[in-house]
């Protein structure tokens, strides 16, 4: 089935294509494919009705945050202790003030991204305490690792947004770490990014750091950071997350509410059961933002997986997760808010075939479903415990392919290629025909990782596996990184803010 | 994001689940998911119109087969030399006699499969001259290898059909090889299979062998083999394939017409261009079967890939191929015939991450698109030059997951799991709840390859990659293979037929 098809391009043209493989940064995606809806109308109705039943009858606990309880009571919910029973339809009604789409402003306006509608934004892995690469193996992350990943995300053509903390800089005390993390994101890339608002104090620091960078006036009426708010599934929000959510909403910054539901552990063993739970939790959390500040920008998130019934360990890229990704996007569209899900999730310990199967079975559904913010899209290994340098650039290559897929089918005269078919006719080939020559540069995405050569050539080149080729690529990319530069006054303002905060945050202080 | 979720099952229950992982064979799939249509109505109209333009204006060459030309002339086509210009709408009209669905009978009636409608059938790799495994490396295939793959396909739960020649037994002379191949398929598995009708003589031999097995009376009114007919793209059918096609159609056996179009080589560099070409070629070939015998069962096939613009080498699992898979299924449904495509195609030389990314980006679209016969679904490596033992069982594991996905969402009371949500409530977990205990056995598919254990446990177990675990699995499966047995009279009839044919087919004879 392969055959010895001759190379259509020779010499200078082929070299030009090779040289440009890493050069151009893509804008965020405006999908031209239809959003695939895998759930039936019946399923949607059942899940939405069950989510309302959960909200009203079982209720959601808003723990250790009296202000949230006060807001819910004022909105008409029944509050018993910390349990909030939200009458049918109330959360959905409150969400009518949330924007269907919004822009996240980056310090480089060309890197602004849009969340919602037909927009899709790819964002790398967030959260791992460990990093790994083929040379040094698995180890705790450091600030240098984080900055390396920020640089790689800055360079990868199809990573449109720097995301959240790609790895924890474990050498920095936890109560100061968020400052170095936020500074690194703002300093080493001019793309947009998230904050890591693990406490209300962290949330305030992130917003203040953004004010130092963008100016307080700009931040007052522009959304410049996203904060990820995890519910404590099932059906609980804790006080720290609630305080952070309220800080972000009050400042008109973006809030992502994400239940981390692994089916069988924090949710039932069925897809429909988990989706009702996820919808209930996200609706409750997102509605609260609108009670704080109507119109505050929000994103409905899901982080989907299941546990192994043999060992209890988390699994990713399984059929249940695939269905949950499609369901998330469909339910969010019905609700009229942007959504976040998916990425390149996997359980594998190394960047092998298991990692790639699982990642692809997460990523492709995410793109087909029309997810707006694709988190953990590059570098994720081992259930999110590890950020891998090799997997980062392997996934980034896949993201560029997904961006090409999202362009849909070219139906222009060029795309129809009837003239080419007429020119070539029966029994010939298209390698050198005029249409091929005219379109070769833009025809296909050129993979940075895949090896398409013959077995013999591949053997001569060292019989490298994909992760071994990736090992060379990320080093090459880091060597070629160019600092986007920064306004010295803004840099000084950020450094000054950070120094002042660190002086206050002694290592013993438990932040609230 | 992982956490230390405790195992929900202990002792006997967990062991039971482990022991049963390989046991049960699944019936072929009746999809409960909607068939995903990625092409717009406008795209469908353009491609269908362009295919008719190709058929009428450019025409298709039917080479070295006067009988085909005679049939086309009688049907109203313009024949100039070997070039047949098929008037707009004629091919589509002729295909109205082709069945929308048909059954392929296996010698075990429980393994009969259905092609068309909501049925999906998984079939392994076909055609490679080479095989590979981690112990012995890459080498020419042998009859023993072929029989091993037939046994693995027989055992794999989600491989419903044995497919075509999984590897060429290169030690047998080419003009006799098809007899040993066909016998091996009929003998070592009771699943259905293809023939390899590379010449009309091979086609007749396959049908005669089927008569020896099933009885001539049964074969006269039941379809028991499929024959794969490749067009010689662009826009050519050669005499051998045409003769085989006519033999199969005349005997009411199944014909798959498959252009092997790699975009940029045998087709234009654009998806819309390739799809018009593929539709034209398949309509021409399939319509011819209906001229031979109206009502003969057919399948519209596509084999999709593109060439690298850098090297001219074939590429798989790219965005163009993904679009072509969706388009194939959509166009076949409009035509009212079953379709074949997809599988687990890749360019990689080894079963690494590249192989898995590419395979998943072929397989998932194939399943979502609603392809009826999924060929090359397990074992394919290196653009189809190599059948890999490790990749075979890795892909087979993915197929079982796809079968689970195709079941869709359980919307029964069990699936909705509201009682479980009520029982567990806020802040607890679902690990031991009644609903989980009642459903753990059927809740999720248990992967045979994926490792979900902790990094520490995985290290203790030898830090194996997915292909290394697969190496153990295929050996275990072959060791556990149980001969399905065969009626001694049928076996004797097949062996007798084979001996008689081999006596006639001296090595020098070039078969027609």
Give the separation between CA B465 and CA B5, rounded to whole angstroms: 24
Report residue B186 as tokens: 């009929």
Chain B closest-CA separation from residue A48 CA (Å): 11
What's the rounded Cα separation, in Å, for the pair B458 and B451?
8
Residue A9 above 80 pLDDT?
no
Alpha-carbon gap: B154 to the closest alpha carbon of chain A (Å): 23
Alpha-helical segments (H) within B231-313 = 239-250, 271-292
CA distance B441 to A218: 56
- Which pLDDT score, from 0 to 100, does residue A443 have? 85
CA distances to A320, B399, B472 from B157, in Å: 19, 9, 17
Share of chain A above pLDDT 90, in %: 90
Task: Find the residue in A nearest to B402 (Cα).
Answer: A319
- Give residues with Cβ within 8 angstroms of A45, minimum separation 6: none
Q: Answer yes or no: are the C-beta atoms of B235 and B60 closer than 8 Å.
A: yes
Q: A311 and B417: CB-CB below 8 Å?
A: no
CA A161 from centre of chain: 8
* B54, B127, B427 member nearest A421 (Cβ): B54
Cβ within 8 Å, pair B436-A277: no
pLDDT at A507: 61
Q: Which residues contact B374 (CB under 8 A, 6 or more apart)?
A: B120, B121, B122, B123, B340, B341, B342, B343, B363, B366, B367
Q: What is the dihedral of CA A34, A38, A43, A48, to 10 degrees?
A: -50
CB contact under 8 A, B43 and A409: yes
Number of Cβ pairs < 8 A linking chain A and chain B: 457
Closest chain B CA to residue A56: B422
Q: What is the dihedral of CA A511, A512, B1, B4, to 10 degrees?
A: 80
pLDDT in tens, A43-63: 999 999 999 999 999 999 999
Rounded distance between C-alpha atoms, residue A40 and residue A44, angstroms = 6
How far off is chain B from A482, nearest CA to CA, in Å? 27
- For residues A151 and A143, what is the distance between their CA atoms, to the nearest angstrom? 12
Indicate yes or no: CB of B350 within 8 angstroms of CB of A54: no
Nearest to B5 among A314, A428, A445 (CB): A314
CB atoms within 10 A of CB A70: 12
The span from the CA of B99 to the CA of B162, in Å, is 23
Neighbours of A397 (CB within 10 A): 25
- Min Cα separation A499/chain B (Å): 31
For residue A23, what pLDDT band results from cuts at 50, 70 and 90?
low
Instruction: Tokens for A70, please give them.
Output: 């006060």
Sign of the CA dihedral with A287 first, then A292, A297, and A300 last = negative
Q: What is the pLDDT of residues A422-479, one digit of tens each?
A: 999 999 999 989 999 998 878 899 999 999 999 999 999 999 999 999 999 999 999 9
**Which residues, 6 or more positions from A511, have their beta carbon under 8 angstroms from its beta carbon?**
A175, A199, A201, A202, A505
Residue pair B192/B171 in contact by the 8 Å Cβ criterion:
no
Contact flag A46-B8 (C-beta cutoff 8 Å): no
ipTM of the complex: 0.95
What per-residue confidence (pLDDT) applies to B10?
A: 52
Chain-chain contact of B384 with A2 (C-beta, under 8 angstroms): yes
Nearest Cα of chain A lies from the Cα of B410 at a distance, in angstroms, of 7
Q: What gap in Å lies between CA B53 and CA B272, rounded to an integer?
A: 14
pLDDT in tens, A125-147: 999 999 999 999 999 999 999 99
- The mean pLDDT value for A364-372 works out to 98
> How many Cβ atoms are within 10 Å of B216's Cβ, its own excluded?
11
What count of Cα atoms within 13 Å lies in the side-chain half-sphere of residue A380? 31
> Contact B234/A6, CB-based, under 8 Å?
no
Give me the DSSP letters along B89-147: THHHHHGGGS-S-EEEPPSSGGG-EEESTTEEEE------SEEEETTTEEEE--HHHHH
* Pick from A323, A435, A446: CB nearest B269: A435
Chain A: closest CA distance from residue B487 (Å): 36
SS (H, E, C) B135-163: CCEEEECCHHHHHHHHHHHHHCCCCCCCC
pLDDT at A512: 47
Of A234, A430, A449, the CB nearest to B265: A430
Cβ-nearest to A309 among B57, B236, B446: B446
Residues of chain B with C-beta less than 8 angstroms from the C-beta of A408: 323
Mutate which: B59, B302, B353, B463, vs A, most A CBs within 10 A: B353
Are the Cβ atoms of A466 and B353 closer than 8 angstroms?
yes
Task: Find the mean pLDDT for residues A314-340.
Answer: 97
* Alpha helix (H) residue ranges in A370-464: 389-406, 413-416, 418-424, 434-443, 455-460
Cβ-based contacts of B446 with chain A (< 8 Å): 308-310
CA A417 to chain centroid? 36
Q: What is the pLDDT of residue B311?
A: 84
For position A440, what pLDDT does the model report?
81
Contact at CB, A312 and B267, closer than 8 angstroms: no
Secondary structure letter of residue B6 according to DSSP = P
Inform me whether the pLDDT recorded for A213 exceeds 60: yes
Positive or negative torsion for Cα A333, A338, A341, A343: positive
pTM to 2 decimals? 0.95
Half-sphere exposure of A509 (CA within 13 A, CB side): 13
**Contact between A38 and B33 using a beta-carbon 8 Å cutoff:** yes
How far does A108 lie from chain B, in Å, by closest CA? 30
Q: What is the pLDDT along chain B (512 residues), one digit of tens a residue?
A: 333 344 444 555 545 544 444 458 999 999 999 999 999 999 999 999 999 999 999 999 999 999 999 999 999 999 999 999 999 999 999 999 999 999 999 999 999 999 999 999 999 999 999 999 999 999 999 999 999 999 999 999 999 999 999 999 999 999 999 999 999 999 999 999 999 999 999 999 999 999 999 999 999 999 999 999 999 999 999 999 999 999 999 999 999 999 999 999 999 999 999 999 999 999 999 999 999 999 999 999 999 999 998 888 999 999 999 999 999 999 999 999 999 998 999 999 999 999 999 999 999 999 999 999 999 999 999 999 999 999 999 999 999 999 999 999 999 999 999 999 999 999 999 998 999 999 887 889 999 999 999 999 999 999 999 999 999 999 999 999 999 999 999 999 999 999 999 999 976 555 54
**Per-residue confidence (pLDDT) for residue B12, from 0 to 100:** 54
Confidence at residue B443, expressed as pLDDT on a 0 to 100 scale: 85
- CB B39 to CB A409 under 8 A? yes
Cβ–Cβ gap A9/B310 under 8 Å: yes
**DSSP codes of every residue in B15-47:** HHHHHGGGTPPPPPEE--SPPP--S-HHHHHHH
Q: Which residues pair with B29 in a beta bridge?
A: B120
Q: Among partner residues A2, A309, A443, which is closest to B444 by beta-carbon distance?
A: A309
CA distances to A73, A97, A437, B44, B332 from A416, in Å: 60, 44, 16, 12, 19
Q: Is B232 exposed, middle or buried (0-12, 13-18, 19+ CB in 10 A)?
A: middle
Q: What pLDDT shows up at residue B4?
A: 37
- Give A152-196 pLDDT, tens digit per residue: 999 999 999 999 999 999 999 999 999 999 999 999 999 999 999
- What does the CA dihedral B131, B133, B139, B143 come to, rounded to 10 degrees? -50
Q: Output the CA–CA distances (angstroms, integers) from residue A259 to A283, A381, B353, in the order listed.
A: 11, 20, 29
pLDDT 10s digits, A76-119: 999 999 999 999 999 999 999 999 999 999 999 999 999 999 99
Residue of B nearest to A266 (CA): B429
Give yes or no for a cis peptide into B234 (omega within 30° of 0): yes
Residue A132 forms beta bridges with which residues?
A138, A388
- Under an 8 A CB cutoff, do A319 and B53 touch? no
| Residue of chain B minimizing CA distance to A314 | B2
Do A444 and B420 make contact, defined as CB atoms within 8 angstroms?
no
Contact yes or no for B425 and A58 at CB 8 A:
yes
Is the Cα torsion angle A357, A361, A367, A372 positive or negative in sign?
Answer: negative
Asked if the bond preceding B165 is cis, omega within 30° of 0, the reply is: no
């Amino acid at each position: 089935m392969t055959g010895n098809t001759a190379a259509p391009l020779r010499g200078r043209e082929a070299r030009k294509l090779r040289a440009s493989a890493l050069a151009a940064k893509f804008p965020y995606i405006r999908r031209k494919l239809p959003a695939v809806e895998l759930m039936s109308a019946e399923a949607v109705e059942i899940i939405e009705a069950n989510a309302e039943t959960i909200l009203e009858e079982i209720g959601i606990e808003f723990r250790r945050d009296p202000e949230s309880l006060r807001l819910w009571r004022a909105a008409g919910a029944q509050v018993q202790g910390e349990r909030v029973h939200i009458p049918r339809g109330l959360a959905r009604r409150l969400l009518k003030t949330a924007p269907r789409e919004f822009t996240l402003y980056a310090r480089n306006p060309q890197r602004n991204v849009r969340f919602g509608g037909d927009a899709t934004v790819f964002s790398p892995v967030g959260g791992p305490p460990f990093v790994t690469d083929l040379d040094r193996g698995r180890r705790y992350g450091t600030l240098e690792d984080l900055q390396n990943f920020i640089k790689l995300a800055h360079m990868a053509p199809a990573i449109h947004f720097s995301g959240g903390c790609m790895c924890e800089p474990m050498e920095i005390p936890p109560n100061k770490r968020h400052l170095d993390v936020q500074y690194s994101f703002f300093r080493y890339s001019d793309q947009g990014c998230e904050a890591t608002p693990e406490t209300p104090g962290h949330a305030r620091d992130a917003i203040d750091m953004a004010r130092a960078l963008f100016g307080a006036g700009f931040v007052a009426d522009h959304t410049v950071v996203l904060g990820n708010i995890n519910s404590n599934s099932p059906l609980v929000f804790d006080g720290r997350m609630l305080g952070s959510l309220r800080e972000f909403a009050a400042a008109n910054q973006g809030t992502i509410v994400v239940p981390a539901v692994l089916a069988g552990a924090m949710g039932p063993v069925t897809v429909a059961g988990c989706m009702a739970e996820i919808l209930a939790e996200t609706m409750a959390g997102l509605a609260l933002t609108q009670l704080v500040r109507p119109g505050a920008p929000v994103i409905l998130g899901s982080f989907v997986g299941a546990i192994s019934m043999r060992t209890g360990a988390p699994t990713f890229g399984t059929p249940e997760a695939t269905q949950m990704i499609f369901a998330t996007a469909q339910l969010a569209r019905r609700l009229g808010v942007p959504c976040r899900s998916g990425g390149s999730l996997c359980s594998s310990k190394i960047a092998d075939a298991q990692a790639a199967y699982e990642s692809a079975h997460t990523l492709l559904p995410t793109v087909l479903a029309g997810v707006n913010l694709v988190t953990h899209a590059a570098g994720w290994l081992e259930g999110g415990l590890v950020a891998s340098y090799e997997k980062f650039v392997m996934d980034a290559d896949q993201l560029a392919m997904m961006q090409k897929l999202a362009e849909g089918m070219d139906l222009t005269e060029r795309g129809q290629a009837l003239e080419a078919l007429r020119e070539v006719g029966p029994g010939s080939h298209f390698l050198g025909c005029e249409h091929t020559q005219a379109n070769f540069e833009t025809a296909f995405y050129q993979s940075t990782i895949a090896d398409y050569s013959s077995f013999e050539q591949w053997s001569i080149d060292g019989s490298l596996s994909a992760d071994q080729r990736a090992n060379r690529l990320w080093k090459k990319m880091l060597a070629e990184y160019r600092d986007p530069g920064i306004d010295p006054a803004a840099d000084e303002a950020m450094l000054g803010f950070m120094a002042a905060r660190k002086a206050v945050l002694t290592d013993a202080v438990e932040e609230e």
